[in-house]
Chains A and B, each alone.
Chain A
């Protein structure tokens, strides 16, 4: 019976979501406070029911309830408990449920923290969140029931895809969804603003911490996904420009633009329409990602089961949500550029250029991702667009961003002065060139690596100089407000990231080798000695495990144990061995025995030496911390002053009359 209770809980949640989506809107329109007040309880109730449904699915996995088709498809008796929990979001239906659960978590948080918001505005915001939830709950109830029964009940289930049986994959989807769904808050603020015609800077100020937090989560999710691909897929690659990766990268780029545009709008009142548009885009691209992954429109590494009905449903949902928002934007967006004017030399200008480039980069990724589909539509034949395309255009678009990054913080709002910038320019040029020259010796003059060092130093020097300037000039205690500290951390993260990417791309060494026990191979100054392979077993797999002892100049660095696992249902999965380090990773993947079946003998192995690769994720994590730090700034908290409250009441009275 329990799974049916889960179904029931989802249906009840759907009804509550409908209430949450419709009643407060009517209330805001008619000035009915009772209707507006339904938003919070409806949101809370919906969250409870979704949590119940989620809990029931977890329970079914933990108790091997193979009469539930989803459980039977994605787990078996041998699967360890932690992967049985991760299996909840291992395929389409459950991951959708997780998505809704997270949406509810954000909504409840928003409901709790929006007590001080103007009543009408809060009602509209929560209603928009409710409408989004309606779409997803209807999607799961009508097309993707996770509680469908499988009769007769099998004695054992299939398996969770072994690729997903990895700690990285356990964290990646929830964190990523936190990011995707988090953009729904900025979206809801924008729509509520458009609905009410409230173009005040105030709501952007309220939306900012949510956007920063969402972007931080999205960054973390992408980092986790990239790390997982690196560790688990055995290619040693960390980004492949696969459609699904791009689907997470586009909202990230737009979110990045949005964070900066919101800063402008909040402080200066400018770029209001653009901020609204970006809020809509960021969430739309999150939805688009869901569509691309689940509709089967594009071939992708991690596509879910493709079912045209699901595709049509999401497309219809996408059309209503995004089309409706953009229509609202066309009708209600501020027509006149408002806010304080600014000079050519000003922080606004730099942020605007950055915004342009982020938006164009996002459009480029979209075009490249969808081009195979356009090729089908225009009958151009099947075309592949892959890493060479994105890897060529993306750095070109980001080059001006990197060049401008040090100057943004130094410029003042409205009217900057060119003179101090010259001193800054001189210093960071000297720093970048000096470091590049030193680096060139270490990297044998390889251009890309040298440029990488120069670019990273360029950004870092500018950031550090600005931190120093604040230290000198600002009064104690006010030197580094959280927003500013977040910016510094994120910009430093970018420097670290750029360094990691360009150095690891250029200096990595890869070698496929045949090694008999006792043989040694030298890669990147390290000696890898193969000490043979043996059989080993885990909870739900058996594996051939190689033993590689790594030394450098005769000193032992470590023992690496790459595995080739065979899971219960016969799926084979390599587990690479990674010796992680600050300045380099060593990475070994086990191939196959050179004589089939003789695991005692020689094996083929892939050895990697990957300098600075960890800086890529380190940079990403710094950006994430930056996002969270900025989100924590006290000045974004809502202070409902007396006059603000009065104005809201006035507004309410006005609307009631209307």
Chain B
């Protein structure tokens, strides 16, 4: 029996590796799930991109759910995601809040002029400090925040039509069910 132990141990390893291969076809290794899901979004006060004298805060957005979409003009994949937001952003059923991350305001404005602006409103976080509170580590990232200011869902990487139908819409529908 003891002579079989190495073989048994090895078969366990094979199982683990098989799982690993499968897991990596389903998950992106660069995605680190946020610990903030179902926790209150961090309080923030950020200037608007179009008018830096005005600020938008977490408190001012309470009462209605919204999708906070982190983007930047330097971000290649944001350009990939952008057409999807242009096409389907208005049908999500929640407000789309743009979050311009570590970007020069003029670059961002030009970028939005060029590619179109799917956002109801855009806030700018040039130093990237608030983004740390949100646990942002790249762009694009998207946070679905409910009427009470709680983060309900986070997507890392570009939003695709598939993500919208499979993940985002059900998450929005769940919000609706709670507070019609």
Chain A residues with a Cβ under 8 A of chain B: 273, 277, 280-281, 284, 291, 295-299, 306, 308, 311-312, 315, 318-319, 322-323, 326-327, 329-331, 333, 335, 370, 373-374, 376-377, 381-382
A281, A284, A308, A327: the one contacting B21 at CB < 8 Å is A308
- Once bound together, how far apart are the Cα atoms of A329 and B16, in whole Å? 22
Chain B residues with a Cβ under 8 A of chain A: 3-4, 6-7, 10-11, 13-14, 16-21, 23-25, 27, 29-30, 32-33
Output the nearest chain B residue to A310 by Cβ-Cβ distance: B21
Residues from chain A with a CB closer than 8 A to the CB of B16 are 370, 373-374, 377
- Once bound together, how far apart are the Cα atoms of A315 and B27, in whole Å? 19
Residues from chain B with a CB closer than 8 A to the CB of A326 are 6-7, 10
Are A306 and B24 in touch, CB under 8 angstroms?
Answer: yes
Are B17 and A382 in touch, CB under 8 angstroms?
Answer: no
Residues from chain B with a CB closer than 8 A to the CB of A298 are 20
B6, B11, B13, B29: the one contacting A277 at CB < 8 Å is B6
A-B residue pairs in contact (CB < 8 Å), sample of 17: A284-B10, A295-B21, A296-B29, A306-B24, A308-B21, A311-B20, A311-B24, A315-B17, A322-B10, A323-B7, A329-B3, A330-B3, A373-B19, A373-B23, A377-B16, A377-B19, A382-B33
Are B14 and A318 in touch, CB under 8 angstroms?
Answer: yes
- Once bound together, how far apart are the Cα atoms of A311 and B18, in whole Å? 9
Output the nearest chain A residue to B19 by Cβ-Cβ distance: A377
Output the nearest chain B residue to A326 by Cβ-Cβ distance: B7
Known: A318-B14, A323-B14. A382 touches B21 (CB 8 A): no
- Once bound together, how far apart are the Cα atoms of A335 and B10, in whole Å? 21
Residues from chain A with a CB closer than 8 A to the CB of B17 are 291, 295, 297, 311, 315, 318, 373
- Once bound together, how far apart are the Cα atoms of A335 and B21, in whole Å? 37
- Once bound together, how far apart are the Cα atoms of A291 and B17, in whole Å? 9
- Once bound together, how far apart are the Cα atoms of A308 and B13, in whole Å? 17
- Once bound together, how far apart are the Cα atoms of A370 and B20, in whole Å? 10
- Once bound together, how far apart are the Cα atoms of A301 and B158, in whole Å? 24
Are B21 and A312 in touch, CB under 8 angstroms?
Answer: yes
Q: How far is the CB of A193 from chain B (nearest CB, A)?
A: 15
Residues from chain A with a CB closer than 8 A to the CB of B19 are 373, 376-377
Known: A370-B16, A376-B20, A377-B19. A299 touches B7 (CB 8 A): no
Q: How far is the CB of B86 from chain A (nearest CB, A)?
A: 30
Known: A306-B24, A374-B16. A323 touches B33 (CB 8 A): no
Q: How far is the CB of B58 from chain A (nearest CB, A)?
A: 26
**Which 10 pairs between the two chains have the least Cβ-Cβ distance?**
A297-B20, A326-B7, A311-B21, A330-B3, A330-B4, A326-B6, A299-B29, A373-B20, A377-B19, A319-B14
- Once bound together, how far apart are the Cα atoms of A370 and B7, in whole Å? 18
Residues from chain B with a CB closer than 8 A to the CB of A331 are 3
Known: A297-B20, A311-B21. A329 touches B14 (CB 8 A): no
- Once bound together, how far apart are the Cα atoms of A298 and B11, in whole Å? 19
Are B7 and A327 in touch, CB under 8 angstroms?
Answer: yes
Output the nearest chain B residue to A297 by Cβ-Cβ distance: B20
Output the nearest chain B residue to A366 by Cβ-Cβ distance: B13
Are B24 and A333 in touch, CB under 8 angstroms?
Answer: no
Known: A315-B18, A373-B16, A382-B33. A297 touches B24 (CB 8 A): yes
Residues from chain A with a CB closer than 8 A to the CB of B10 are 284, 322-323, 326
Are B7 and A329 in touch, CB under 8 angstroms?
Answer: yes
Residues from chain A with a CB closer than 8 A to the CB of B25 are 308
Residues from chain A with a CB closer than 8 A to the CB of B23 are 373, 376-377
Residues from chain B with a CB closer than 8 A to the CB of A329 are 3, 6-7
Q: How far is the CB of B138 from chain A (nearest CB, A)?
A: 15
Q: How far is the CB of A41 from chain B (nearest CB, A)?
A: 34
- Once bound together, how far apart are the Cα atoms of A298 and B24, in whole Å? 9
Q: How far is the CB of B128 from chain A (nearest CB, A)?
A: 18
Q: How far is the CB of A293 from chain B (nearest CB, A)?
A: 13
Residues from chain B with a CB closer than 8 A to the CB of A315 are 14, 17-18, 21
Q: How far is the CB of B36 from chain A (nearest CB, A)?
A: 13
Residues from chain A with a CB closer than 8 A to the CB of B7 are 323, 326-327, 329-330
Q: How far is the CB of A261 from chain B (nearest CB, A)?
A: 15
A291, A308, A323, A333: the one contacting B3 at CB < 8 Å is A333
Output the nearest chain B residue to A277 by Cβ-Cβ distance: B6
- Once bound together, how far apart are the Cα atoms of A299 and B32, in whole Å? 12
Residues from chain A with a CB closer than 8 A to the CB of B18 are 315
Residues from chain B with a CB closer than 8 A to the CB of A312 are 21
Residues from chain B with a CB closer than 8 A to the CB of A299 are 29-30
Q: A296-B24, A377-B20 given; name 5 further pairs at CB < 8 Å.
A: A281-B6, A297-B21, A308-B24, A311-B17, A377-B23
Residues from chain B with a CB closer than 8 A to the CB of A280 are 6
- Once bound together, how far apart are the Cα atoms of A382 and B24, in whole Å? 13
- Once bound together, how far apart are the Cα atoms of A600 and B167, in whole Å? 53
- Once bound together, how far apart are the Cα atoms of A39 and B130, in whole Å? 68
Output the nearest chain B residue to A376 by Cβ-Cβ distance: B23
